[in-house]
Structure 1
Amino acid sequence: MASKELKIPTIVFSKEELKPGTSQWDSTKDQVFQALQEYGCFEAIYDNVIPSETRESMFGKLKEIFEFPIEIKLKNLSDKPLQGYLGQIPHLPLNVIKSYSKSHVELDQMVKMMVLESLGLTNYVNDEFLEPNNFYLRFSHYKAPTQGQNIGNKVGLSGHTDVTVLSIISQNQVNGLQVFKKNGEDQWIDVNIAPNSFLVLSGDPFMAWTNGRVHSPIHRVTMAGESDRFSIQLSSLPNGDYTIKPPKELVDEEHPLLFKPYESVEYFKYVMSEAGQKTGTGVFKAYCGV
């Protein structure tokens, strides 16, 4: 059951005033780092970065994507992590996708810079881990419970942590995402973000690179009501052969190494393997925990 009391933090990003070195930047930075430490996520109010018509165009066409026949979707499968068939979307021009993604990438880079500053590691700003060559834009569709199903308890996506560094998620007006937090007792927190907001969610690689300073939360999707949920997620990940390990400055006697170095592509293979699937939400610690 989800907690009705706990809420994930909400942080306002003012694009005009939010510049490194300003008091507004420092205040927002502190909020971001605290949220990622305690919850591993937060709601970002990032006003006026995506025109309403662009947002409406993106979500308005998602239904068309998921209505493609399965035989068409199966024509172009990929064995690469996080990649799969989307098909041609003639009514969703490339410039619309580019405009929508641009704001996500900007927020991704801003959050990472704030974490670096909070850790005193600005000398790592050009590290390959934080300047990934790979961004993945994914569309997800979660169907509303059908007649006869237990309304309110349908799991659209079971509990898991992310294999990506950071994800920026937006959704239509249907909620359903829940984040797990231990706060005296195990609790699921409903993530009810505004239609014009983003959810910023950290993953296992970010937790490993920061040696546990940043939390990678278990999260899931549960569906209730009569409406389908659509979401758009932009995630970042370093190259598959990049070895993820914390900077030497983050490992000492008070902060021993928590996770063994690993390559993201190998971890993804393990997550998708039979052994990884059996491990459940503890898959990351099972794979590389010290």
Structure 2
Amino acid sequence: MTSTQTGAVSGSETSRIHNIGYRSYDGPRLGRGYARRSLYSQSLRGSFGLGRSAKSKVLPMLLFGVMCVVAAIIVAVSISIPGSTALQIKYTSYAIYMQAVIGLFIASQAPQSVSRDLRFRSVSLYFSRPIEHVDYVIAKLAAMASALLILTGAPLVILYAGALLGKFDFVEQTKGFGQGMVSVALLSVLFAGLGLVMAALTPRRGFGVAAVIAVLTISYGAVSTVQAIAWQTGAEGAVEWLGLFSPITLISGVQAAFLGASSPFPGGAIPGAGTGAVYLIVVLALVAGSYAVLMRRYRRVGL
């Protein structure tokens, strides 16, 4: 069987060999830094549903709206009370009171950030570009922490702006606002690390959501219950140490010890500097451990 000059194979009028015209790319190569920034930007936008379908925007935007509207209501109530000289809530307490909303946000968006890449095996496509495992992990961690900081920091800005408009003491409000921002920054990094670890353990989004809720929300209820039992049975010394076993109580202990926050523990016990240092060390260890687990996970996926 011989080929004709037109490229058709003898005996078949429909078979042809075409020159598709692939050419090598000779333009600028932007490298790992650009790829890392692009992945961070895309992941951050995706956390709020930007660049995705309208359905994907509903829940994150609704949760963000709830966080901001509640802060605005607190400002309105505080200003309307005759003789009021301060907000009705501390800056450091806001995220603790709104933990259910924050937990729902991270539970819904952490699996969206990493589980889909695992489920549809698109991770290998990332690593086929000039991007390493460390770039992927850092970009995802930074994007999720930034999304949480926006979620938790925006209401504090509303509280602070409202306090200044209400002519509350500038120095006191500025100090409280700064303490609150430090607190939510620490919370954002911790929750981002733990949330992504739970979500990356399985490609199934539903399992990831359940795992995140269990670690961030259910653990708080369990620890608070055990703390209350310990206080009622006279084991007051165990109350502070039990707080090490829940992400929310960890943040509460750190800010109560170092950021002037009210104690969330039964009996109102405020952790001392030594206990607070232990809390802070555990928080930093969990953040570092989350990074290490994610690196190990994606090294295995890369194989």
Same fold, judged at TM 0.5 (above): no
Q: Report 1 or 2 for greater relative contact order, CA contacts < 8 Å, sequence distance ≥ 6.
A: 1
TM-score with structure 2 setting the length: 0.31
Compare the two structures and name the one with the higher helix fraction. Answer: 2
Greater C-alpha radius of gyration: 2
TM-score for the superposition, normalised by structure 1: 0.32
More strand by share: 1
